[in-house]
A and B are shown apart, each in its own frame.
Chain A
């Protein structure tokens, strides 16, 4: 079986995987990082979004072996110890989640969005979220959360994680 070495949430990882193992399977099943979710099988829902070398990627459409040498950050890796990442805090503050299943993917996608659009307006956020489905919130509070999170990230002028 192929071997893959990468860093996940700043920890070096070496694992044996099958050629067909997806990155999301490596994260969830091998590494026990179950914060990354699987909501579909056609790369539409974005529940599986993580950062690979700082960019948001759907971990269900990438083979684990393709992450060779990559820096991967999952939802478990974005907070600063007990202190939530500003985007995580904004989701809670703005009630941007209900069942929480889409939330890790939403947050990972949103953090990447802010890198591209530091001060996104409503339409920018809605467009960016094209690859993330939520069935609970109607997106209203997610949009609010992401704009608030972007503002908080800016205020913090701090390097994004990953």
Chain B
């Protein structure tokens, strides 16, 4: 590891501090949403559509209403005053018109548009009673043809939404097509590839859950929910769906059992329980089961792409052309629209100096569960198509895939680097991560290993992927100019308590990332206070001033920066107080090693003394010095951060069975500065597992009628321990140039870089069979078929 020369202390920046939160988790003392039970609570079960597309002719509730324990049953007619679930990002079509945004009702209005679309909410005194009653509801559906293939959806003649007659949400592009076409006309070689990015189910092991509560005396609503961003839920639900002012809504996201994007969005169930609790004067609790999660949690990816790369005779990239269909599912989820556009097309330069790029995206509605961000969100799709086409180009032109990449890398002296697709990379060293990854993987020794595998009848392959991602979303001004309907800063409050302990209130949300540890390390180091005396508070709108939450690997780069900004204000205030205590000039005060000192003297006050004085201000000059030591900060990033790295995967395939075994996986990432290497490595491991899962195992498959065939853990292949290898991970560092910690974000990298590394390795292993591409997931069956069709 070549990151910064630390650690300086056992608990400071750079130390692999063991996690604070684990003390409760390993004892089973976490407090997840479903662990919460409120007095007098009722339970809601949702009756969901069994059809992918149908008109609802009638709903007969009479029998269900008489069933034991039933408290209430609601359908869309009861929710007439509520708004639809909003979309947070407006995309503008190529012709300048806005994208189509059909209403996404809380409960289906007159029509169902995917299997799992909620039709009725049944509330009873027990879950069992609610389930029993749901079975007594008679819905008369008139089935309509499902729209399943996004590439032909526009011409299908079936409209899912009146507001989108050709099932098109938007038709958007970036880049100057004429200029790119001209570059292609001069190319010595053209590589073309058609590929699909398979649809995935995020599958956090904790299913979603929500509990609504209402205090009729104060008019306050409380929602406990499995969310990555409670303030965003409060805003979207309050302002758009329930039309309740924010100060009357409290949203609590306690311990959350993984998110990976799927818990960013505002979901119908959250609005329903919050609203129903107020109608009934009793708490309403909903807990998803896994089968329900498969048809109600937003899914990820699902692109179909044609990519073309133009090269000159020396292998230099001249231009890139991409045409992608992106599946939105049946409705627009909260951030669905931005994934294929500004989180995908803008990443198509990758690590390369490709001078001109054109990308067109057609976003389509289909009769499937909505699609939104899933770990990586757009960047895995971009990295996959790019690293696949580069690999294929190397093969077609007889070049070493590592050498071709190197030849086209942006060089260290070229930063800041303006890409042709809007982003400006601040810093990086792509040679360094590639060198480290190839050395760790013993790239030069591969031919010998391949030959040895052959003696055992195995096909050995090696694959490289060099990814870049844009994290720390995002400067609000840029996001706003591109259609974001929100700012993307983060907020923090640092409260120094009278006895010197510190409570930090952060708008970031931890659902596995370990913020209670990492953030405390930053505070401990910056203020020179013991790690143990810092408490990190998150996940409750009643305690935290504001927050945009955790996604896009933004917590440390944006949320951590907000904390640093608040700490700077604490130090400034502390200097004022210490100057007063020491009867010195404020300008002469310095803060170092946990004490406020008068420069050039041995006079000082410790941090604890200053904290205490702040709350016992017996002789403060109150006109110029306020009591208390607590500061708020909002940090809006100046740019994205750009983590990058090279992954090398080595596989062996058994030609008789098509089974792929990953023999080695080497990852080298540049995350800038690192606060807690242990946690960072863990994040990479988790991302790699999800990326390898995408490449080899996972796939949401719908049949032609829109039934999800892979709707449980029996059918959807989740990566298990025996499917995965141990990983070799390392880092290099070019610190981010524009945030105070020099950090970039590490949460998604593994899931972004690994799918093309795996598929490149699989295709490499199959090269003797003349295979140039295989779609994900490369299951044994798919590989066996390829081998036997070519043999």
Chain A interface residues (CB < 8 Å from chain B) = 18, 20, 28-29, 33-42, 44-45, 47, 74-76, 79, 84, 88-89, 91-93, 95, 97-104, 107, 122-123, 125-127, 129-130, 132-143
Contacts and interface: CB of A to CB of B under 8 A. Distances in A.
A93 B682 CA distance: 13
A44 B31 CA distance: 23
Contacts of A92: 18-19, 22-23, 26
Given A35-B29, A75-B28, A97-B26, A45 B713 contact: yes
Nearest to A104: B28
Contact of A130 (B35, B514, B721, B750): B721
A37 B719 CA distance: 20
B369 interface: no
Contacts of B721: 125-127, 129-130, 132, 134, 139, 142-143
B39 interface: no
25 contacts: A37-B32, A38-B207, A39-B205, A39-B206, A75-B26, A88-B26, A89-B26, A91-B22, A92-B22, A92-B23, A93-B18, A97-B26, A98-B512, A98-B686, A99-B204, A99-B206, A99-B255, A99-B257, A101-B30, A103-B26, A135-B203, A135-B258, A135-B690, A138-B689, A143-B726
Contacts of A36: 28
B290 interface: yes
B28 A34 contact: yes
Contacts of B37: 29
B321 interface: no
B25 interface: yes
B26 A84 contact: yes
Interface string B678-691: 11011101111110
B28 A35 contact: yes
A140 to B, nearest CB: 4
A117 to B, nearest CB: 14
Contact of B30 (A100, A134, A137, A139): A100
Given A35-B29, A136-B258, A140-B727, A99 B512 contact: yes
The CB with the most chain B CB atoms within 10 A, among A33, A37, A79, A127, is that of A37
Contact of A40 (B258, B682, B713, B750): B713
A88 B688 CA distance: 25
B128 interface: yes
B8 to A, nearest CB: 21
B27 A75 contact: yes
B32 A101 contact: yes
B448 interface: no
A36 B441 CA distance: 40
Contact of A127 (B22, B35, B255, B722): B722
Nearest to A89: B26
A126 to B, nearest CB: 4
Nearest to A91: B26
Given A20-B128, A34-B28, A138 B724 contact: yes
Given A37-B32, A133-B720, A103 B25 contact: yes
Given A18-B128, A34-B35, A129 B720 contact: yes
Contact of A137 (B22, B26, B32, B686): B686
A97 B25 contact: yes
A18 B128 CA distance: 10
The CB with the most chain A CB atoms within 10 A, among B29, B720, B750, is that of B720
B18 A138 contact: no
Nearest to A46: B205
A134 B205 contact: yes
A93 B256 CA distance: 21
B670 interface: no
A151 to B, nearest CB: 17
B205 A135 contact: yes
B257 A37 contact: yes
Nearest to B691: A138
B722 A41 contact: no
Among all A-B residue pairs, the 6 with the closest Cβ atoms = A35-B28, A101-B257, A100-B25, A138-B689, A99-B512, A75-B28
The CB with the most chain A CB atoms within 10 A, among B26, B258, B686, is that of B26
Nearest to A133: B718
A158 B18 CA distance: 25
Contacts of A28: 35
B712 interface: yes
B260 interface: yes
A137 B204 CA distance: 12
